Amino acid sequence: MIKTRTWLLLLAALLLAAGLFWWLGSRRNSGSVVQVIHDGQLLREIDLSDVREPYEFVWEDDAGNRNRIRVEPGRIAVTDANCPDRLCVHQGWLSRALPPIVCLPHRLMIQWKEASP
Amino acid sequence: MSKDPRKPISLTLRLTTDAMLTALALGIYFLEAQLPPLVPVPGVKLGLSNIVTLFALFRLGPADAAAVLLARVLLASLFGGQAVSLLFSLCGGVLCFLVTWLTRRLLSGKQIWIAGILGALAHNTGQILAARFLIRQNAIFAYLPVLAVSAVLTGLFTGICAQEAVRRLRFPPRLS
């Protein structure tokens, strides 16, 4: 039987580690290029610092799965989707501190492009 | 490790108990699905139906807990109508079950909350692996720290609920 105090210590260490990874992950990306990826394949690469006028485009597959993506100067978001949970819409603008925007039911993802070494 | 002396229960009682727990878990699952998402991050949820699995594991044993879990997962995705959700629930649920089952030997009846946390962490890890398989991008692992923090909080909550249920409920009745 392990003491409760030991478990609490382990728990605190875990939370600290998670927080550290989160912080490091959010600091890594400094570029302005985002990638729209479906099923592991790159659909579009957009340099958000080159965007002058806001525009939208719609991604749709053969099955009728649909995501409307809005691009504005410096930022990008999914504004509409016909997936069941619509979490991709609720995630709002792609943030540097948070993980990429994903629409798991549609296997769609929007992420910052990793800076090439 | 349950403090109850392991008195046997009849097979019929065991079957009906497992069936009732499955129905309870299903009800909780669909009730929770009605709640608006707490945070717009896929995979973050309370996981209330794990209370039932934990209760089954600590009160009845691994076989009953596994039966309740699998029946709940299969029925939920059958009624829910999404094939993708079955993959996520299975990956998360099975990993969660294995971890809580293995840690059960290390824990006393007052430490079920730890099993709740470890199970929630395993559940979210399993879901991330399923998502990695679906979306085929390693960037999805960026969700791990966020999900770990949420798993500790929600797992603590469901773990405490299960611990209190195991402590307070005298169910199912034992044969004397």
Q: Please tell me the distance from the alpha carbon of residue B108 to that of residue B136, in angstroms, as a whole number.
A: 40
Task: Using an 8 Å CB-CB cutoff, list chain A residues near B42.
Answer: 85, 87, 102, 104
Pairing of the two strands A66-72 and A75-81: antiparallel
**CATH topology classification for A31-112:** mini-chromosome maintenance (MCM) complex, domain 2 (2.60.320)
The whole-number pLDDT of residue B166 equals 93
Nearest CB among A2, A15, A87 relative to B149 is that of A15
Q: Using an 8 Å Cβ cutoff, are B93 and B43 in contact? A: no
Q: Domains, chain B, ranges and CATH?
A: 11-168 (1.10.1760.20)
Strand partners, B43: none
| Dihedral-angle region of residue B43 (phi above 0 means left; psi in -120 to 50 means alpha; beta otherwise) | left
The more confident residue out of A37 and A84 is A37
**pLDDT-based confidence at residue B150 (cuts at 50, 70, 90):** very high
More confident residue, A1 or A35: A35
Average pLDDT of the residues in A35-53: 92
Q: Tell me what the mean pLDDT of segment A99-115 comes to.
A: 87
Span B6-28, average pLDDT? 89
Interface contact A100-B139, CB threshold 8 A: yes
Distance CA B27, CA B51 (A): 12
Which pLDDT belongs to residue B1? 43
Residue range B121-150: average pLDDT?
Answer: 90
Is the pLDDT higher at B28 or at B2?
B28
Backbone angles phi, psi at A85, to 5 degrees: -95, -20
Question: Whose CA is closest to B30, among B89, B92, B87?
Answer: B89
Answer whether residue A41 shows pLDDT above 80: yes
For chain A, give the longest Cα–Cα distance.
63
Can you list the positions of beta strands (E) in chain B? Answer: none
Residue B39's pLDDT band, with cuts at 50, 70 and 90, is: confident
Which tops the pLDDT comparison, B84 or B117? B117
Res. A38 pLDDT band, cuts 50 70 90: very high
pLDDT at res. A11 = 87
- Domain regions of chain A by residue span: 1-30, 31-112
Q: Please report the pLDDT score of residue B3 as a whole number.
A: 44
Q: How buried is residue B145: exposed, middle or buried, by Cβ count under 10 Å (0-12/13-18/19+)? A: buried
Kindly state whether B106 is in contact with chain A, defined as any CB-CB distance less than 8 angstroms: yes
The pLDDT of residue A42 is above 50: yes
The ipTM, to two decimals, is 0.76
Per-residue pLDDT band for A115 (boundaries 50, 70, 90) equals: low
Taking CB atoms within 8 Å and a gap of at least 24, the contacts of A1-7 are: A1/B106, A1/B107, A1/B108, A2/B106, A4/B110, A4/B111, A7/B111, A7/B114
Q: Give the pLDDT band (50/70/90) at residue B50.
A: very high
Residue B2, pLDDT above cutoff 60: no
How many DSSP H helices and E strands does chain A contain? Answer: 2, 7
Q: Nearest Cβ partner of B137 from A7, A14, A37?
A: A37
